[in-house]
Structure 1
Amino acid sequence: MYALDGVVWRAPDTQENREHFGCQRNHANHQSPFPLVRMACLLDARARLLIDASLDAYDTSEYTLAQRLWPQMPPDSLVIVDKGFYSAGLLWPLQHRQGRHWLIPARAGLKGEVVQTYGSGDVRLRMKVSPQARKKDPELPLTWEVRAITRELDGKPKTLFTSLADAARYQADEIFALYHERWEIELAYGEMKTDMLGQAMTLRSQQPEGVKQELWATFLMYNLIRLEITRIADEAKVQPCRISFITALRYIVDEWMWSSGSSTPGAIPAKLKAMRQNIRRFVLPPRRPDRRYPREVRMTKTHYPIKKNAAQA
């Protein structure tokens, strides 16, 4: 069970970073105040461990970054993505060339021809492949088939598309219940940006290679903490998401600092065992199944100019 989504990081405002990564352009003469790094990450949704990441300039499409990560998925695995990744050029090869499966919310207004009905709110649709997608990949077929599962959520119908077409093996209600696990990657981004980096406005490195090194170091640190959480969860016989990340982060950082200055390396295993026992005391209660929060509309962005491009100022 995997989740994939994009994320943007702010880099320090240096000429080198702007030239390498680029930035968001509001209109012809204005740019965002910071250079931006575009990234997509592939996450083990159950353990919340990062499998791999792909980063590039801000103008790089998230589709391109996602395609680089597909080979990291093992055969017969399932990846959950947001509706922004809906594309036959992206999902059809993942299913038919690489033998992986996907789950995605349906975009509003998408329609297809019903090929087969499995049950109430559970059908197989034949969808058209856009000419733009076939121009980029001539081997794509004219049409492709997806399974569409519709259920009521918060009083409104919601439809998911998936490649799990075997209705006898993959029950519709079970598939629909899986989609909420996509939010694990949003929680992972929050743990990195908020808990680990302390809500820092930007990264610290002044050069592009330093920015990349800093990001990979952040992911490595995150995975080391998550790996330790997974081991603690195994000992406590709970799911990894039941272990408090903030508590584990603080304990592990403290122990690493102590171990780095310790003159008695033989004491480290005992300290590690004690640390795991302490963190086990902070097992979170199970998530409430009826936990729901209404969506909120983000505030309108300012219409004032942000920053002029130095070359055009």
Structure 2
Amino acid sequence: MACGTRSVIGAVFGPATTGELEYARRLAADLRAGMLLLGDRNFSAATLLNQLAATGADLLVRCKTNRKLPPVARCRDGSTLTRIGPLTVRVIEAEITIRTAQGTRTGRYRLLTTLTDPATHPAGELVRLYHERWEIETAYAELKSTMLGGRVLRARTPDGIEQEVWALLTTYQALRTAMTDATDSIPGTDPDRAGFLTALAAARDQLVLAAGIITGTDTDLVGTIGRHVLAHLLPTRRIRTKDRIVKRAISKYNARGPAIDRTTYKATISINMLTSSP
């Protein structure tokens, strides 16, 4: 998924007996030189990293902080170079602190990247960029909660499920294209400000009203969606302060744990780069 527009670059799916690392290997065919892949720590396996890097795309992937990565060189900014099989990667470690009126939380991050030159790709910029990986989680919510309303797929056969998933992704892609076209029409407008629920409602209204189906009339479905999106732009994206939490898929109540605090807090983030010993 593209971080900026949240449009789909590629998709694979199948039975749960196949692990997500295998599905990720199949998605390597969608990568090419000039791309920067952001991945979470479940995708930092050595074999997978080497396969993804072989496509020519660059990588920025989180890994576990207790993983042994013997340094082979030290960069001037305190990051280190290490080898994972034949692949040379740069190891960046940082503490990220978020402060709100409710208190302060600090977490430690370790990132692996094939962007090995600290002069052209400063560590602090890469740490801030990695936060964009969360965009795919937002897209999952749009697909499962907004479009499906938390319901399971209706098909009862494997072929039907495959057809339904592709239909869902195709509809999502069409909406994302219309939303991006709309925000691109106003220079400097971040695609993040386009409301997915607004676009979905506008598209549904066009179908319910059967607009533009009479022979000889001009159909402007994308334009209609775009006008609704631009008329209801969201405010600038807020800093995400909440941890991921397990909850029932079709319920607004927690499956377990404390009640969800839905209050919006003004937040500031600071990054402290951790350097290795000389």
Query: Which residue of the other structure, out of 132, 141, 144, is the alignment partner of 1:190?
Result: 141
1:245 paired to 2:196:
yes
When the two structures are aligned, how many residues end up with a matched partner? 241
SS in structure 1 at match of 2:37: strand
Secondary structure of residue in 2 paired with 1:160:
strand
The answer to whether residue 115 in structure 2 is matched with residue 115 in structure 1 is no
Residue in 2 aligned with 1:31? none
Tell me, yes or no, if the aligned pair for 1:121 and 1:151 is still in contact at 8 Å: no
2:62 aligned to 105, 117, 121, which one?
105
Partner of 1:263: 214
1:153 maps onto 2:103 in alignment: no
- Report how far residue 76 of structure 1 moved: 2.6
Amino acid at match of 2:68: K
Mapping for residues 92-241 of structure 1, pairs under 5 Å: 92-95=50-53, 97-127=54-84, 129=85, 141=86, 144-154=87-97, 155-200=106-151, 202-237=152-187, 238-241=189-192
Partner of 2:44: 86
Q: Name stretches of at least 5 consecutive residues in structure 1 with no aligned partner.
A: 1-42, 130-140, 302-313
Query: 1:287: which partner in 2?
Result: 237
1:265 deviates by 4.4
Label 1:263 to 1:125 Cα distance change in 2 as closer, same or farther (>3 A): same
Structure 2 match to 1:22? none
Q: For 2:73, give the aligned amino acid.
A: Q
Question: Structure 2 CA distance, aligned partners of 1:294 and 1:190?
Answer: 15
1:77 match: 35
Cα distance, 1:77–1:275 mapped onto 2, change above 3 Å:
closer
Contact between 2:178 and 2:222, CA under 8 Å: does it hold in 1?
Answer: no
Work out whether residues 36 and 60 of structure 2, in 8 Å CA contact, stay in contact via their aligned partners in 1.
Answer: yes
Counterpart Cα distance in 2 of 1:60 and 1:163: 28
Whether 1:45 and 2:3 are equivalent positions in the alignment is: yes
* Structure 1 position 279, deviation (Å): 2.2
Aligned counterparts of 1:261 and 1:118: Cα–Cα separation in 2: 61
> CA, structure 1 residues 86+300, in 2 after alignment: closer, same or farther (shift >3 Å)?
farther
- CA shift, 1:71, in A, is 1.6
- 1:150 corresponds to which letter in structure 2? E
Once residues 262 and 124 of structure 1 are traced to their aligned partners in structure 2, the CA distance between those partners, rounded to angstroms, is 60
Residues 236/257 of structure 1: CA separation in 2 closer, same or farther (3 Å cut): farther
Tell me the distance in 2 between the aligned counterparts of 1:71 and 1:275. Answer: 32
Q: Counterparts of 1:162 and 1:272 in 2: how far apart (Å)?
A: 38
Residues 223-246 of structure 1: CA distance to partner in whole angstroms, max 9, x if unpaired?
000010010011133122210000
SS at match of 1:71: helix
* SS class of match (2:180): helix
Structure 1 residues 297 and 211 mapped into 2: Cα distance closer, same or farther (>3 Å)? Answer: closer
Which runs of no fewer than 5 residues in structure 2 stay unpaired? 98-105, 248-254, 258-278
Partner-residue secondary structure (3-state), 2:95: strand
Cα distance, 1:257–1:102 mapped onto 2, change above 3 Å: same
What is the TM-score when the length of structure 1 is the normalising length?
0.71
How far is 1:126 from its partner?
A: 3.3
Equivalent residue, structure 1, for 2:264: none
Label 1:109 to 1:233 Cα distance change in 2 as closer, same or farther (>3 A): same
RMSD: 2.3
Percent identical residues: 32
Aligned residue for 2:268? Answer: none
Q: Secondary structure at the match of 1:74?
A: coil
